[in-house]
């Protein structure tokens, strides 16, 4: 079962004003003037320049429905149990962020864009368990945000935060995502196509999210000795982009701790159009925690970016 989300499109219209001019003529003959040397040169007639048309900009700042990858920042957060607040997740370089009051949107849940506003900086207390979970929400260090006007955050789900004017709703693809982890299998033609590209038999597939023309799917391939492979695929018409997750077989956990040969749960945070091509935000969860990352289209594949984070919630 897939859930469908709507989207609004904002826009701005540029007006171009053109000035005209008229010339008058006289029927009387004009005498030939006597040349006169003047200290003042005649002023040239000013030319009318037509301004260059600039890309239309939405109310959230993305030109032509594309966001700029370089303006995204490595700030992830997760929602509390009420779905009304978020707290930022510490990054590798610590939990401090510059100008936290400028973050204005939370992006996640298959492309939801929720407007948020800064509340305060929260310091860790003596009950902090060093877990990034709803049970430790009020004890850990981080920046607290709340929903600005309307919308709802999914409790305990992760989001990428963006500053004012960086991500517009029309730069995000409207996706239908699997509900409660009930993923549908890819159709037979898609599986055959993927097997031909990878040269390897597919043992399982899951459609994570899809639009009217695009699909994001997870494929797990047949084991070859101790060589294991799972891949996220973005599929749109003739384009297929893969992000591969190779691993060495381990009976207790090949990809994730205590996961056996199951790669874990993948969820789509968002699919976006950018100046660098397709952007795909992913949450990858296992028993011990969750990896968060954004992939970009490059060199015919989905490549890592510097946008990555993680949560640890194992007891």
**How far is 289 from 313, CA to CA, in rounded Å?**
5
pLDDT at 47: 45
Which residues face 273 on adjacent strands? 278
Count of structural domains, the chain: 2
3-state DSSP assignment of residue 136: helix
Question: Are residues 230 and 155 located together in one domain of the fold?
Answer: no
Model pLDDT, residue 1: 57
Contact 117, 185 (CB under 8 A): no
Residues 303 and 193 placed together within one structural domain of the fold: yes
Residues 122 and 202 in one domain: no
Rg (CA), the chain: 28
The pLDDT score that the predictor gives to residue 152 is: 87
In a shared domain, residues 197 and 248: yes
* Nearest to 232, CA basis, from 212, 250, 246, 222: 246
The answer on 276 and 234 residing in a single domain is yes
In the predicted model, residues of the chain with pLDDT beneath 70 are 1-64, 180-181
- Domain match, 213 and 270 both: yes
| Residue at which a domain ends, from 107, 142, 170 | 170
Instruction: Quote the CA–CA distance of 16 and 64 in Å, as a whole number.
Output: 18
The whole-number pLDDT of residue 253 equals 87
**Spatial distance between the Cα atoms of 151 and 108, rounded to a whole number of angstroms:** 12
**Cα 310 to Cα 293: distance, rounded to the nearest angstrom:** 8
**Does 39 reside within a domain?**
no
| Within a domain: 141 | yes
What whole-number distance in Å separates Cα of residue 73 and Cα of residue 171? 16
Domain match, 279 and 262 both: yes
Per the CB < 8 A criterion, the answer to whether 156 and 81 are in contact is: yes
Q: How far apart are CA 89 and CA 135, in angstroms?
A: 14
Range(s) of the domain holding residue 264: 176-312
Cα distance between residue 202 and residue 198, in whole Å: 9
Which helix (DSSP H) or strand (DSSP E) does residue 189 occupy? helix 188-198
Whether residue 303 lies inside any domain: the answer is yes
Chain length of the chain? 315
The Cα–Cα gap between 255 and 265 comes to 11
* Per-residue pLDDT tens digits for 84-117: 999 999 988 777 899 999 999 999 999 999 999 9
**Is 12 part of any domain?**
no
Looking at 117, 135, 170, the residue that finishes a domain is 170
Q: Among candidates 130, 128, 132, 100, which has minimal Cα distance to 116?
A: 100
Q: Is 102 helix (H, G, I), strand (E, B) or coil?
A: helix
The pTM assigned to this predicted structure is: 0.80
Q: What is the pLDDT of residues 178-187, one digit of tens each?
A: 776 689 999 9
Q: Is 291 within 8 Å of 262 (Cβ atoms)?
A: no
């Amino acid at each position: 079962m897939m859930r469908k989300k709507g989207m609004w499109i904002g826009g701005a219209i540029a007006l171009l004003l053109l000035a005209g001019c008229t010339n008058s003529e006289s029927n009387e003959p004009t005498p030939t003037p006597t040349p006169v040397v003047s200290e003042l040169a005649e002023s040239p007639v000013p030319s009318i320049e037509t301004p260059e048309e600039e890309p239309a900009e939405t109310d959230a700042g993305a030109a032509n429905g594309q966001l700029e990858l370089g303006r995204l920042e490595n700030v992830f957060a997760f929602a509390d149990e009420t779905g009304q607040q978020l707290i930022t997740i510490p990054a590798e370089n610590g939990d401090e962020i510059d100008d936290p009051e400028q973050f204005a949107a939370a992006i996640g849940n298959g492309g939801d864009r929720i407007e948020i506003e800064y509340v305060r900086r929260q310091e860790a207390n003596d009950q902090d368990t060093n877990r990034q979970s709803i049970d430790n929400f009020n004890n850990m260090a981080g920046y607290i945000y709340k929903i600005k006007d309307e919308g709802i955050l999914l409790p305990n789900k992760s989001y990428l935060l963006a500053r004012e004017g960086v991500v517009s709703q029309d730069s995000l693809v409207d996706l239908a995502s699997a509900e409660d982890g009930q993923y549908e299998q890819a159709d037979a033609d898609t599986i055959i196509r993927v097997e031909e590209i990878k040269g390897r038999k597919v043992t399982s597939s899951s459609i994570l999210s899809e639009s009217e023309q695009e699909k994001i799917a997870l494929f797990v391939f047949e084991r070859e000795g101790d060589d294991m492979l799972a891949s996220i695929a973005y599929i749109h018409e003739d384009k297929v982009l893969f992000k591969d997750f190779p691993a060495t077989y381990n009976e207790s956990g090949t990809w994730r701790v205590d996961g056996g040969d199951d790669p874990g749960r993948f969820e789509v945070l968002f699919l976006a159009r950018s100046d660098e091509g397709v952007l795909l935000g992913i949450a990858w969860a296992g028993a011990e925690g969750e990896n968060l990352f954004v992939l970009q289209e490059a060199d015919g594949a989905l490549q890592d970016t510097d946008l990555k984070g993680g949560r640890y919630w194992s007891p």
